[in-house]
Amino acid sequence: MAAFLFIPTAWALAVTLWKDVMTAAVLLGAVAALKYRRPGIALVLLLAGVAFRHNALIAAIPLAIPTTAQLSARAWGWFRKAQVLAAIMLALLLSPSVVSRVLDSTPAWAAGQLFLYDLAGIYAAHPNLVSQSMLSGETTGAEIARLYSPLHVWPLFGGVEGARPIAFSSIASRRDELLAEWARMIRTQPEAWMRHRLASFASLVGATPGPIYYPFHRGIDPNPFQLRVPSEGRMYKTLHRIKVRVADSLLFRGWAWLLLLGALALVALRSVRQKPIAFCTALSGLGYAFSYLLIGIGSDFRFIYWSVIATFATLALLITESPAPETASGVSPMGR
């Protein structure tokens, strides 16, 4: 607990109002609920986590397994338990759309940014192909080569010197055309697409020689409430100095956390019958991070915040998780 609270990687992001932080908080709550055998609470928190972020579904699926085990009666067979798990999976899948309908929110079509980002990665490597693209009216191959960065999708919209920004609103109105072109280019240029994906993921996990991209947020954005950081205090100055000094260290290089979490997953696997929640928590954190290999559109460290928190949670569970009653009698809570 002391390590968790004092390591800058945890507290530097925890104070920021980001959906990544909120997702990590509710997933951690779900893990704690499972630890204390409160599967109903765990399920509600998993549904909330999936509603916060689209890819949180990948993180929720492993945790749905011990949730199912705790919700199921001991006498139930594997088929009945599979039905419960399928129902939970369906609820998790539908959670974002249900919340959107209840809140009457405006869809942002995040997938469209992913499609455009992938196309830009391919066209940056093959500028001559832009002439056959729906983007030919928006930009040129030379401009995409200037706009594209493996660090983030936003330069495509913000523009750089010597290149026009791409108007995403005009492209979003042609969703079917964009999706068809994205599928076609991945099929015909798989090598360029995979190089783009690997470069983006390497930037996200800090596996590049340059400095860490956006390890944490500094200050408070301009807001109508006139809120500001009280930066003159001694505590603020001390903590700010610490996190700035370590911003480019292993503490903010995602690959180091994933290696540690992977090692803990292997340890948990060896005693998975006695410590199933630890193993599922490790899988949750690993799945959440590695999903960005295919869907990442930026290299902000916040994107893998749950993977960092899952590392501490897995370690804590390996130390404290005790066998469930079923396990003590020789039956695994993961099923017969």
Give the span between the Cα atoms of 305 and 6, in whole angstroms. 16
Q: Residue 166 is part of which domain span?
A: 110-204
Computed from CA positions of residues 180, 184, 187, 193, in that sequence, does the dihedral angle turn out positive or negative?
Answer: negative
Residue 171 or 212, more confident: 212
Range with lowest mean pLDDT among 81-95, 163-177, 188-202, 292-306:
163-177
**What confidence category does residue 333 fall into, taking pLDDT thresholds of 50, 70 and 90?**
very low
308 belongs to a structural domain: no
Q: In this model, does residue 331 exceed pLDDT 60?
A: no
Q: Are 155 and 116 in contact (CB under 8 A)?
A: no
pLDDT digits (tens, 9 = 90+) for 214-249: 999 988 888 999 888 888 889 889 999 999 999 999
315 belongs to a structural domain: no
Residue 324 or 183, more confident: 183
7 belongs to a structural domain: no
> What average pLDDT does the segment 73-98 reach?
86
39 belongs to a structural domain: no
Please identify which residue in the block is written with the tokens 């493996």: 150
Q: In this model, does residue 273 exceed pLDDT 60?
A: yes
**What confidence category does residue 75 fall into, taking pLDDT thresholds of 50, 70 and 90?**
confident
Q: What's the pLDDT score for residue 3?
A: 84
**Residue among 33, 96, 99 at smallest CA distance from 70:** 33
Q: In this model, does residue 252 exceed pLDDT 70?
A: yes
Q: In this model, does residue 148 exceed pLDDT 70?
A: yes
pTM: 0.90
Q: In this model, does residue 63 exceed pLDDT 60?
A: yes
Number of domains in the chain: 1
136 belongs to a structural domain: yes
Q: What's the pLDDT score for residue 161?
A: 78
Mean pLDDT, the chain, rounded, equals 90
285 belongs to a structural domain: no
Q: What's the pLDDT score for residue 185?
A: 96
pLDDT digits (tens, 9 = 90+) for 157-207: 987 777 888 888 888 788 899 999 999 999 999 999 999 999 999 999 999
pLDDT digits (tens, 9 = 90+) for 100-109: 888 877 767 7
243 belongs to a structural domain: no
Q: In this model, does residue 28 exceed pLDDT 50?
A: yes
Give the span between the Cα atoms of 321 and 206, in whole angstroms. 32
73 belongs to a structural domain: no
Q: What's the pLDDT score for residue 168?
A: 82
- Could you tell me where the DSSP H helices lie in the chain? 2-6, 8-14, 19-35, 39-52, 56-71, 78-103, 110-125, 141-147, 155-158, 168-172, 175-188, 190-204, 234-245, 254-270, 276-290, 292-295, 305-320, 325-328
C-alpha atoms less than 13 angstroms from C-alpha of 309 in its C-beta half-sphere: 27
**What confidence category does residue 32 fall into, taking pLDDT thresholds of 50, 70 and 90?**
very high
Q: What's the pLDDT score for residue 325?
A: 59
